[in-house]
Chains A and B, each alone.
Chain A
Amino acid sequence: MRLINRHPGRAARLFLGSLPFLILVVAYLVASAARLADNPGDKLLPALSSFAQAIETMALTPDRRTGAYLLWSDTWASLTRLWAGLGIATAITLVMGLAIGVLPVMRALLAPVVAFASMVPPLALLPILFIALGLGETSKIALIVIGVTPFLIRDLSLAAAALPREMIVKAETLSASTWLIALRVVLPQVMPRLLDSLRLQLGPAFLFLIAAEAISADSGLGYRIFLVRRYLSMDIIFPYVAWITLLAVAMDLGLGGLRRLMFPWWGLEGRR
Chain B
Amino acid sequence: MSLRIPSVLVSLVALGALAATPLAAEPKSRFKVGWSIYVGWMPWGYAADTGIVDRWAEKYGIAIEVTQFNDYIESINQYTAGAYDAVTLTNMDGLSIPAAGGVDTTAVIVGDFSAGNDAVILKDSTSLAEIAGRNVNLVEFSVSHYLLARALDSVGLSERDVRVINTADPDMAAAFQTRDVTAMVTWNPIVSEIAAMPGANLVFDSSDIPGEIIDLMVANTAVLADNPDFGKALAGIWYETAALMVADTPEGAAARAAMGAASGTDQAGYEAQLAATRLFADPAEAVAFTLSPDLGTTMDHIRTFLFDKGLLGAGAPSADVIGIELPGGAVMGDPANVKFRFDATYMQLAADGAL
Interface, chain A (partner B; CB < 8 A): 27-28, 30-32, 34-35, 38-45, 53-54, 57, 64-65, 123, 127, 130-131, 134-136, 207-208, 210-211, 214-218, 223, 225-227, 229-232, 234-235, 237, 241
B246 proximal to A (CB < 8 A): no
- B135 to chain A: closest residue by CB: A218
Quick one: which of B4, B101, B165 contacts A216, CB cutoff 8 A?
A: B165
CB pair A215–B1 under 8 Å, yes or no, is yes
Which residues of chain B come closer than 8 Å to A230, judged between CB atoms? 73, 96-97, 139-142
Tell me which of B168-176, B193-201, B227-235, B275-283 binds A.
Answer: B168-176
CB pair A34–B102 under 8 Å, yes or no, is no
> Shortest CB–CB separation between residue B160 and chain A, in angstroms?
8
CB pair B2–A214 under 8 Å, yes or no, is yes
CB pair B180–A134 under 8 Å, yes or no, is yes
- A127 to chain B: closest residue by CB: B174
Extra inter-chain contacts (19) besides given A28-B16, A135-B167, A218-B163, CB under 8 Å: A31-B19, A35-B19, A39-B22, A41-B339, A43-B100, A45-B16, A130-B171, A131-B174, A136-B180, A211-B2, A214-B4, A215-B1, A216-B175, A218-B164, A218-B166, A229-B8, A230-B97, A230-B142, A234-B12
A216-B102 in contact given A28-B16, A210-B2, A232-B80 (Cβ < 8 Å): no
A217 to B159, CA, bound (A): 17
Which residues of chain B come closer than 8 Å to A210, judged between CB atoms? 2, 5
A44 to B102, CA, bound (A): 11
A44 to B82, CA, bound (A): 10
CB pair A44–B175 under 8 Å, yes or no, is no
Give a binary string over B135-173; 1 marks a CB under 8 Å from any A CB, 0 the rest.
001011110000000000000000100011111100100
Give a binary string over B15-47; 1 marks a CB under 8 Å from any A CB, 0 the rest.
111111010000000000000000000000000
Interface, chain B (partner A; CB < 8 A): 1-2, 4-5, 8-9, 12, 15-20, 22, 73, 77, 80-81, 96-97, 100-103, 137, 139-142, 159, 163-168, 171, 174-175, 177-181, 310-311, 314-315, 339
A231-B178 in contact given A43-B80, A215-B167 (Cβ < 8 Å): no
Which residues of chain B come closer than 8 Å to A27, judged between CB atoms? 16
> Shortest CB–CB separation between residue B13 and chain A, in angstroms?
8
- A28 to chain B: closest residue by CB: B16
Which residues of chain A come closer than 8 Å to B164, judged between CB atoms? 218
A216-B100 in contact given A134-B179, A229-B73, A232-B77 (Cβ < 8 Å): no
The 7 closest A-B pairs by CB, nearest first: A41-B102, A31-B16, A211-B2, A34-B19, A216-B167, A43-B101, A38-B22
